[in-house]
Amino acid sequence: MENHKKSPSLSLETKDIVIVKPSMPTPSEILSLSTIDNDPNINILCQTIYVYKPNLDFPNDKKDPACVIKEALSKALVYYYPLAGKITTLDDGKLGINCNGDGVPFLESNANCELSSLHYLEGIDVPTAQKLVFDNPSQDQTSPHPLVFKVTKFLCGGFTIGMGLSHSVCDGYGASQFYRALAELASGKNEPSLKPVWERERLTAKSTLKEQPFQFLIDKTSIATSPFLPTKEISHECFNLNGDTIKRLKMKLMKESDDGKHVIKENFTTLETLGAYVWKSKVKALKLNNDGKTMFCLAVGVRKLLDPPLHEGYYGNAFVASNVVLKVKELNEKPLFEIVKLIKESKKLPLNNEYIKNSINILETMRKRNIRIEGTGASLVLTDWRQLGLLQEVDFGWKDSVNIVPVPWNMFGFVDLCLFLPPNNLDPSMKGGVRIFVSLPKASMAKFKEEMEFLKVMKVDEDSS
């Protein structure tokens, strides 16, 4: 991630693993996961770190954050009892959860420094970030834990929560719903304000389904290739763009798209605008071949789009992909506003319930045929975390977290995934801004950085480049 001046080296004193069980008896059953949950590409443990400053308003209230979180977790697991079970493979080869109340592995550590000396993890390097999360301790990957925790306390009284959650069980909304429930119970509520709902059968392909003729959106022969891939040398960076920079880019697009005929100007969202810019920048940085094809793939939430909508408390994976496929040459040559329009159009696809159903059926066909999507660099898979409320409404008694840091996930070989994150709560100038988290081959990162820097100094009245 973006490198600050050298941080002090972080060393931890770690206690033994504790298993946190639900505070009351919970149902013992085997639950099936949905077809989207069963997508092998998301069968990973997603690690995220939440950063909390010391609570200076109550310096005498010496509550131990690890104890508070452990107790809240025990209560939360009564409602979210599948998370206290184990992921298992059912007889039909699909994933399920054995709700056996086994409990959640929990680690507690003490750090040798203050959080401020690590800049509250802003721009933290990956090896340091990895010390603050807990790798899945169930090494027999046949039945891993869907949830693991690590709480690290710093000398200043601040702390970090490293949460590892199986993407097969929750998507970003589900994770944020669970995390908020945890905070509510920690701050004294008797129950979460939003009750979880399982209902995974709502997003499951019909068993009578005839296998669809399957075709990749880009076939293997026409996919764009990069001279930098494959490689094991991957760089992970987080780029901060403030609200003014984004506003300028939108104004530039407005000018570009105004053809002088006084057409009603398009209203471009930040997601569409930055999505298009990052896609173009990434393709340039990777030097993808001109006649190859590249794809922009946006994860679109369908909770409210389904008819009838999913229950508000649904915490499984509920998204489908909307895609734009172009030849690299086309992407490079088209003005940015045209790319933005294509992305805007593609977002309308999931408004059609047939499209959602069809996407689920395709996933089932891929699962049956064991088709995995390899990370090639030719795709940009974008996930937007800005609306999840992960930096607000999560007060464990130490006010809202000041930062949230994803530890790189090995999804599509790292290189295809891009996250849009809310700005941290440390820098007032970032209000209305976005943090863009990307992973690229080390050799191509300098070019990508250049493209991001250009955005910050770009003048609106410049000729469109």
Mean of the pLDDT values across residues 337-360? 95
Across the chain, mean pLDDT equals 89
pLDDT at residue 209 greater than cutoff 60: no
Reported as a single tens digit per residue, the pLDDT across 15-74 is: 999 999 999 999 999 999 999 999 988 999 999 999 999 987 765 456 899 999 999 999
pLDDT at position 388, please? 85
Using an 8 Å Cβ cutoff, are 167 and 87 in contact? Answer: no
- Residue 453: partners with Cβ closer than 8 Å, 6 or more residues away: none
pLDDT at residue 442 greater than cutoff 90: yes
- Residue 135: partners with Cβ closer than 8 Å, 6 or more residues away: 45, 148, 164
pLDDT at position 465, please? 42
Using an 8 Å Cβ cutoff, are 196 and 80 in contact? Answer: yes
pTM listed for this prediction: 0.92
pLDDT at residue 392 greater than cutoff 80: no
pLDDT at residue 203 greater than cutoff 70: yes
Strand 379-384 and strand 293-301: the pairing is parallel
Question: Which of 348, 334, 231 minimizes the C-alpha distance to 280?
Answer: 334
pLDDT at residue 6 greater than cutoff 60: no
pLDDT at position 3, please? 46
Quickly state the pLDDT bin for 2 (edges 50, 70, 90): very low
Active site members? 167, 395
Tell me what percent of the residues of the chain surpass a pLDDT of 70: 89
C-alpha of 168 from chain center: 13
φ and ψ of 429, to 5 deg: -70, -10
Reported as a single tens digit per residue, the pLDDT across 234-277 is: 999 999 999 999 999 999 998 888 765 544 466 899 999 999 99
**Residues listed for the chain:** 465
Reported as a single tens digit per residue, the pLDDT across 156-176 is: 999 999 999 999 999 999 999
Mean of the pLDDT values across residues 186-197? 95
Using an 8 Å Cβ cutoff, are 309 and 269 in contact? Answer: no
Mind listing the domains of the chain with CATH numbers? 12-203 (3.30.559.10), 234-387+407-457 (3.30.559.10)
